[in-house]
Amino acid sequence: MGIIDVLVKISQYLPEIKNPVKEVSFKNKLLWTTAALVLFFIMGNIFVIGLDKTQGFGIDLGFAQTILASQIGTIITAGIGPIVMASIFLQLFVGAKLIDIDIGSPEGRAKFQALQKVLAVILCFVEAVVYINPGLLVPAGGISLFNPMFWAVFLQIALGSLVLLYLDEIVSKYGIGSGISLFIAAGVSGQLFWQIFRFPVGTIITQGGILWNLFAFGDLLGFLPVIAVIIIFLVVVFAEGMHVNIPITMGHRGTGGRYPVKFMYVSNMPVILAMALFMNVRIWSSFVQNVPILNTIIDFFAWATMMPNIGNNQLFTAVSSGSGSLLQGIVIQGFTALTMNALIQGFVFLGLLIIACIIFGWFWVEMGGQSTEAVAKQLERSGMQIPGFRKDRRVIEKVLSRYIPPITILGSIFVALLAGLGDFVLAGIASGTGILLTVGIIYRFYEEIAKSQADLLAPLLGKI
């Protein structure tokens, strides 16, 4: 019995959220989704007990925290990072043929999901250790295996991620959409609302949100990210409606129809996986600082996978952190040595993001049963064929191969560019990646809700 079979066997002993025995009503789906969302927000406001409060929260992981539903210092410090990283590792292993799993078959997908769950549980504990270091969180009494506070902090972070893992299962089976998407959208939306509408507290006027600074001090430059958010929102909604219709028929002379291949065929998943990878590179860079050679290599990748911020001065009154976006820095400071270095870093980041999204986009299409071969099999089983050609799956594959692979690549590049270029403008309020994901997630939530309502109305319309 190989290691893969052992891990699949172990997955049978892990706690599991059982599938519903009957169709879950829309009302109950809404209740389960709301309950999971409320619990997520509560966990995001419960701080880890046992931290050394004099140490602070180390390095700034930026808006990758919201993308991974993470809140440093709380019990969801690791967020959905373990779940996403488990998916990344398995996709890389399967793609490199290090693991022999046929993800095109139902049995292979079931094995893949079992492995992903086991690996996610393991990573919940591994990442809890990674977060406990001088660069991030420090337990009271120092970092030592003989310090009881070390284990207290470790268990709280690990269990927080485990709770999110099972909340994701609950939402996927009993709620609307997926828990991962729900938590990402909630984190980004909450951060965006806070940055825009925050009312100043105390005597420091720069603590006000963007709208406060706009009306109180005429900070037009600080309002630029809000305009960018609106533009990204409109672009994503427009792109969601773009698709290519492939003509199909039922039999030789059957009813004609069309099979739509959306421009956003890969959805937003490649960006989630890419940003999760980038965030974990930054985390590991602080973990291996004392390892010669390796720390230099990881530090370079940490630099290359981080979108630069410009500022750390009082020029950016609209941003409470004191740092502004790359575009704001160029507008105010011009092309100085500081902004040129940041511009180089930004383009390196954008290039790596595009490459990562293409790779993960391809994996996502293959794993999700959306590849040319998988779709051709689905159409053949449904009795469909391409008009003007004989009924043969190879013919369907040949026609689909003209559209699906190019759209997969183009869609992956599009979401990478939209997310990366958005980061050029939005640093300090949100991120292009976060807004892109949130708009796409909300759009799909709308589609699922509309479908659920249509299913509810169908029996009534039938009676009428």
Q: Is the pLDDT of residue 238 over 80?
A: yes
The pLDDT, as a whole number, for residue 255 is 63
Per-residue tokens: 450: 């509309």
CATH topology of domain 25-198+207-452: Preprotein translocase SecY subunit (1.10.3370)
CB-based contact 94:69 (threshold 8 Å): no
CB-based contact 420:353 (threshold 8 Å): yes
DSSP conformation letters of 352-417: HHHHHHHHHHHHHHHHTT-SHHHHHHHHHHTTEE-TTS-S-HHHHHHHHTTTHHHHHHHHHHHHHH
Residues 319-338 pLDDT 10s? 333 345 666 667 666 667 66
Least confident of 49-63, 211-225, 385-399, 401-415: 49-63
The pLDDT, as a whole number, for residue 205 is 46
Q: Is the pLDDT of residue 464 over 80?
A: no
The pLDDT, as a whole number, for residue 320 is 35
Residues 47-72 pLDDT 10s? 999 888 776 555 555 556 767 788 88
Average of per-residue pLDDT values in the chain: 79
Q: Which of 398, 292, 419 is nearest to 353 (CA)?
A: 419
Q: Is the pLDDT of residue 463 over 60?
A: no
Which residue's entry shows tokens 């950016």?
316
Q: Is the pLDDT of residue 9 over 80?
A: yes
Separation between Cα atoms, residue 101 and residue 373, nearest integer Å: 16
Per-residue tokens: 59: 């390095």
Burial (Cβ within 10 Å: 0-12, 13-18, ≥19) of residue 270? buried
The pLDDT, as a whole number, for residue 322 is 38
CB-based contact 160:128 (threshold 8 Å): no
The pLDDT, as a whole number, for residue 124 is 93
CB-based contact 437:67 (threshold 8 Å): yes
DSSP alpha helices (H): ranges in 70-105? 81-95
Q: Is the pLDDT of residue 155 over 90?
A: yes
Separation between Cα atoms, residue 278 and residue 270, nearest integer Å: 12
Residues 79-130 pLDDT 10s? 888 988 888 788 777 766 777 777 667 777 788 888 889 999 999 999 898 8
CB-based contact 363:352 (threshold 8 Å): no
